[in-house]
Amino acid sequence: GQNIDQPTEMTATEGAIVQINCTYQTSGFNGLFWYQQHAGEAPTFLSYNVLDGLEEKGRFSSFLSRSKGYSYLLLKELQMKDSASYLCAAGDDYKLSFGAGTTVTVRA
Amino acid sequence: EPEVTQTPSHQVTQMGQEVILRCVPISNHLYFYWYRQILGQKVEFLVSFYNNEISEKSEIFDDQFSVERPDGSNFTLKIRSTKLEDSAMYFCASTTDSGANVLTFGAGSRLTVL
């Protein structure tokens, strides 16, 4: 089975940096994914890690430690439009399993 | 940019009625999925589908649910006899390869069971 934990909510100021942590316990793990979901909309892909280390993609970076079952998503230079839910998801051979999501609120 | 298309965007039905949700995956994708999200809750896996067969299904995907790829483009989810607790947003997704690969999601079909 899959067990994926991430904080429920985070608040940050426009222009700041926020780090969303995710821990996972899965069987058949082969990748860690981050998706963004605005209210009432579909999840959209942000970043993923297959190997340990940091993947940088513009203002968003994601880190993975497979031995620790740990990942984080780093959002830099926060903008108001970044207010959304951020979903951590672990991949196996047949599916992605999602965490409950972290709601990030960006304040002016 | 290619996208996954879902219809209807919103369906209201009476408890006990059959519902079919339709999806057109991205044309060169081979792996298809249905997920659901009850309001305020997490995105839950229902079923994955490849080569006209179910690859994996969750405990939620009981005998009331079925999937079909009736032609070369459509992928459908049928709920035979809807229950109140089936009210949710249903997302279809597709990808070129299974396992560690990026899923592209459709905009979702909101199902309301009265």
What pLDDT score was predicted for residue B71?
A: 87
Q: Answer yes or no: is pLDDT of B96 > 90.
A: no
Is any Cβ of chain A less than 8 angstroms from the Cβ of B5?
Answer: no
Contact status of A51 with chain B (Cβ, < 8 Å)? no
Hey, what are A18's tokens?
Answer: 């926020």
Q: Which residues of B touch A100 (CB under 8 A)?
A: 41-42
B25 contacts chain A (CB < 8 A): no
Instruction: Convert the pLDDT of each residue in A24-75 to its tens digit.
Output: 998 888 899 999 999 999 999 999 999 999 999 899 999 999 999 999 999 9
Rounded-to-integer distance, Cα A83 and Cα A65, Å: 26
Neighbours of B77 (CB within 10 A): 24
- Mean of pLDDT over chain B: 94
Q: What is the mean pLDDT of residues B23-40?
A: 95
pLDDT at B100: 57
How distant is the alpha carbon of residue A64 from its chain centre? 11
Using CA atoms in the order B48, B53, B55, B56, what is the torsion angle rounded to 10 degrees? 70
**Per-residue confidence (pLDDT) for residue A83, from 0 to 100:** 98
Residues of B in contact with A45 (CB under 8 A): 102-104
What's the pLDDT band for A94 if we cut at 50, 70, 90? confident
Per-residue pLDDT at A75: 97
What is the Cα–Cα distance from A33 to A50, expressed in whole angstroms? 9
Task: Say if residue B50 is exposed, middle or buried (CB neighbours under 10 Å; 0-12, 13-18, 19+).
Answer: middle
Strands (E), chain B: 5-7, 10-13, 19-24, 31-37, 44-50, 53-57, 65-68, 75-79, 88-95, 104-105, 109-113
Q: Determine which helix (DSSP H) or strand (DSSP E) holds A103, and give its type and residue range.
A: strand A102-107
Tokens representing residue A44 in the block: 């959209």
Q: pLDDT tens, B65-83? A: 999 998 888 999 999 999 9
CB contact under 8 A, B43 and A98: yes
Task: Give pLDDT, residue B99.
Answer: 58
